[in-house]
Structures are given as C-alpha cells and as structure tokens.
Amino acid sequence: MRITRIPARSTWPLRQLVLRPGMPAESCRFPHDEHPTAVHLGAWDDAVLVGIASLHGEACAWLPARHPYRLRGMAVHPGRQGSGVGRALLQEALEVARAADGDLLWCNARTGAGGFYRRSGFAVEGEVFELPGIGPHLLMYRRP
C-alpha cells in the first residue's frame, strides 16, 4: 500500500460509498475541499484507491491552538476496513499537519469510529452531538 496526495474530486467516490451512501454525489463535495491549505490523501492497493482522508487549516472553537488542522472525509473501502489503511492515512495526516507547523488535528468523528481514533491517541472533547442527516458524532483531537 502507498499513500499519495490526490485531487479533491478523487475522494468523492469513496466519500459517497462510505460516508454518504444513498446521497447524491454532490453531497460529497465539502466546503473546504479547495481551501489553500487543503491536502487530500489517497491510500492505494496497486492501482485501486482503498482509502481517503482530507485535512485543512481550520480553527476549532472549543480547542485552542496556534495552527489547527481539521481532518474530514476519512473513509476506507468496506472490504479493506480493519487492515491498517485507516491507521496509515491517519499517520500521514498527522505528518502533514506537523510539517505545516500544525499544533492540533481535530475532527468530528462518527461515534462508531471513536474507538479507532482513541487507539490512535485522540481524545474526546464534550458530549455526543448529532449532525443532521448524518448521525451522532464526537469532537475528537490530537496534538501532532
């Protein structure tokens, strides 16, 4: 497996499959996809894209930081979940944030992914909250 930077549009099929099933493809285009600090990562098994993650500079109102980065749209193909793809993507996202002098990586994690993020050193801030049309989430973070 290898991880590369990819265009935002290349993340949409996996975002739709894993994060927005049954929703229109346009729902997979996130507001900060084209932000100047945005980085989109793709995990490849030969020529097949099996995982994605996006991050960009964005403050979190509940967590002080000088150079915060937000992780969004992390998804691993259902057939590859549990195989280390997500862990490798998360490690690369932390490296990208560190290289940009980031001092916080935060995300709104689906409650079902909370254990994955905890095992990767992330902590929870606050209580479970609902993202309308998507489901329950946790605000999670780690200092790179």
Measured CA to CA, the distance from residue 84 to residue 18 in angstroms comes to: 17
CA geometry: angle 75, 86, 142, nearest 5 deg: 100
Integer Cα distance of 69 and 144 in angstroms: 10
The pLDDT tens digits of the residues spanning 23-59 come to: 888 888 998 999 999 999 999 999 999 999 999 999 9
* Predicted pLDDT of residue 26: 81
- pTM score, whole prediction: 0.93
Q: What pLDDT band is residue 66 in, cutting at 50, 70 and 90? A: very high
**How much of the chain exceeds pLDDT 90, in percent?**
89
Q: Are 129 and 137 within 8 A, CB to CB?
A: yes
Angle among Cα 84, 26, 18 to the nearest 5 degrees reads 25
Report pLDDT digits (tens) over 80-108.
Answer: 999 999 999 999 999 999 999 999 999 99
User: For residue 140, what are the CA distances in angstroms to 63, 75, 104, 135?
Assistant: 10, 16, 10, 16
The answer to whether the beta carbons of residues 31 and 72 sit under 8 Å apart is no
Q: Are 38 and 70 in contact (CB under 8 A)?
A: no
- Structural domains of the chain in order of their starting residue, each with its CATH number: 2-142 (3.40.630.30)
Task: Determine the pLDDT at residue 24.
Answer: 84
